[in-house]
Amino acid sequence: MSSTPMVTTGLIGGSSIVRSLSPAMHNAAFAFYGLDECYALWPTEASALAGRVVALREGRLRGANVTIPHKAAVLPLVDVLGEEPDVRALDACNTIVRHDDGTLLGLNTDVPGFLRALGAAGFDPRGADVVLLGAGGAARAVAWGLAHAGIRSLAVANRSIAPAEALLALLRRYAPAPRATAIAPESPDLASAMGRATLLVNATPIGADDQASPIPLDLLHPDLFVSDLLYRSTPLLRAAIERGARGQDGLEMLVQQGALAFEAWANRPAPVDDMRQAAQATRDGEMKGPS
Ligand code: NAP
C-alpha cells in the first residue's frame, strides 16, 4: 500500500462537518477490503456547491455524501435521482454515486438507514403509534420511512408549525397515509399523543449538549421505544431507559446509511461491524476530549 491513500469519496456539507464520524467509518470499510483509498471532508459554501459536484464527475472518484445545508440544493446538479425512496419527492439527497461514464446518481440512504437501525434494535414499526419531534430534513426521512413501513399514526411536534404541516402534506401526497397530525410541543395534545405512543423519535438537536430534553421527561413510559437521532446518549434516552422503555441513539442510523452508501459506491457488501466499531471509537474519543 502507498503511504497516501487516494481520495475517492467524501462528505459535502457546511463547516460543521469537521466533527463528522463518516471518515472513520468509510476508511474502516476501505481498510477491510485492502483498498488504498480514503474519504475526505469537503466543507463547501453554497456558492461553490455546483463546482464541487462537477468535480465528482472527473477522475477516479466513486462519489460523495451530502449533508446540511446542501441536501436539497444538489438535486438539480446530478443526472438521475433514486426512486426508492423517491429523492425528488423527499427533496433530499445524501449520497451521490459516480458511474463509470461520469454520470451522477442521487440517492437517499437516510430513509432505509433509519429503518435498518430500528430493525437492528429489534423494533418493528408496523402498527406503531409514533410521536416525531422535529420537522427538518432528518424528520422528513424518518416520517417517509415510517409511513411506508406501515405505522398506524404519526404526531409531528415541531416548535414552528409550518414545517410540520409541510411534512404532513408530503406524506399525504406521496406516502401511504397513516393518521397524521401536527401538534404544538407545548399543547396538551403532546401528552395525549405520548400516552398512546409506542415509538418516539427525536429529530431535533435538543440534547446535543447532554443537558436538555426535547419533551418533559414525565411523558416517558415503559411501552415506548425511543430513537434519538443524536449520535450519543442523551438525557432523553437515559430517562427513557430508567423508566423501563427501550431506546437507541443515532449512531446505528449513521452506520446503516453509511453502509448503504459504501455498497452503492463500491458494489460490494459493507463491513458493517468494522464501520460501526470505527464510528463508535471516534465518537467515544471525541466525547472524552483531547488527552
Ligand atoms: P434540520 O433540517 O436543521 O432540522 C432541525 C429540526 O429541529 C427542525 O424541525 C427545527 O425546528 C428543530 N429545532 C432546531 N433547534 C431547535 C430548538 N432549539 N428547539 C426546538 N426545536 C429545534 O436538521 P436535520 O438534518 O433534520 O437534523 C436534526 C437532528 O438529527 C440533528 O441533531 C442531526 O445531527 C440529527 N441527524 C442524525 C442522523 C443520523 O444518521 N443519526 C441523520 C440526520 C440528522 P424549526 O423547524 O422550528 O426550525
Protein residue with its CA nearest to atom 23 in ligand 1: 136
Supply the residues annotated as catalytic: 71
Which pLDDT score is estimated for 287?
Answer: 67
How does the average pLDDT of the chain come out, rounded?
95
At what angle are helices 137-148 and 110-120 packed, to 10 degrees? Answer: 60
Per the DSSP assignment, residues forming a β-bridge with 6 are: 37
- Average pLDDT score over residue span 58-70: 93
Q: Are 157 and 202 in contact (CB under 8 A)?
A: no
How does residue 58 score in pLDDT terms, banded at 50, 70 and 90?
confident
Q: For residue 253, give the ligand 1 atom closest to its CA.
A: 40
Q: Considering the chain, what percentage of its residues have pLDDT values greater than 90?
A: 92
Q: Are 170 and 89 in contact (CB under 8 A)?
A: yes
Which pLDDT score is estimated for 2?
Answer: 53
pLDDT tens-digit profile of 173-219?
A: 988 878 999 999 999 999 999 999 999 999 999 999 999 999 999 99
CA distances from 57 to 14, 42, 168, 260 (A): 21, 15, 36, 21
pLDDT tens-digit profile of 246-279?
A: 999 999 999 999 999 999 999 999 999 999 999 9
Res. 35: pLDDT tops 50 = yes
pTM: 0.95
Q: For residue 113, give the ligand 1 atom closest to its CA.
A: 40
Per the DSSP assignment, residues forming a β-bridge with 58 are: none
Tell how strand 246-248 and strand 179-183 pair up. Answer: unpaired
Which pLDDT score is estimated for 288?
Answer: 62
DSSP-assigned letter for residue 106? E
CA distances from 65 to 96, 105, 149, 160, 257 (A): 6, 12, 25, 28, 10
Which pLDDT score is estimated for 290?
Answer: 41
Task: Determine the Cα angle at 94 with ends 42 and 151, to 5°.
Answer: 150
Sheet order of strands, 246-248 included? 179-183, 153-157, 129-133, 199-202, 225-228, 246-248
142: phi then psi, degrees, rounded to nearest 5: -65, -45
pLDDT tens-digit profile of 149-159?
A: 999 999 999 99
Buried b (16+ CB within 10 A) or exposed e, 66-86: bbeebbebbbebbeebbeebe
How does residue 291 score in pLDDT terms, banded at 50, 70 and 90?
very low
Which residues, other chains included, contact 66 with Cβ-Cβ below 8 Å and sequence gap of 6+? 11, 12, 13, 74, 93, 94, 95, 96
Query: How close is the Cα of 283 to the center of ligand 1, in Å?
Result: 19
Res. 63: pLDDT tops 70 = yes
**Which regions of 172-250 does DSSP assign to beta strands (E)?**
179-183, 199-202, 225-228, 246-248
**Which regions of the chain does DSSP assign to beta strands (E)?**
6-13, 37-43, 63-66, 80-81, 95-98, 104-107, 129-133, 153-157, 179-183, 199-202, 225-228, 246-248
Q: For residue 254, give the ligand 1 atom closest to its CA.
A: 40
Which pLDDT score is estimated for 175?
Answer: 85
Q: Which of 16, 71, 229 to mutate to test the pocket of ligand 1 (most atoms within 8 A of CB)?
A: 229
Q: Which of 159, 231, 256, 257 to mutate to test the pocket of ligand 1 (most atoms within 8 A of CB)?
A: 159
Spatial distance between the Cα atoms of 55 and 137, rounded to a whole number of angstroms: 25
Res. 20: pLDDT tops 60 = yes
Protein residue with its CA nearest to atom 22 in ligand 1: 204
pLDDT tens-digit profile of 88-120?
A: 999 999 999 999 999 999 999 999 999 999 999
Which pLDDT score is estimated for 286?
Answer: 78
Full DSSP string of 3-43: SSPEEEEEEEE-GGGGG-SHHHHHHHHHHHTT--EEEEEEE
Cell numbers found for residue 193: 399523543
Which pLDDT score is estimated for 60?
Answer: 87
How far does Cα 84 stand from its chain's mean position? Answer: 16
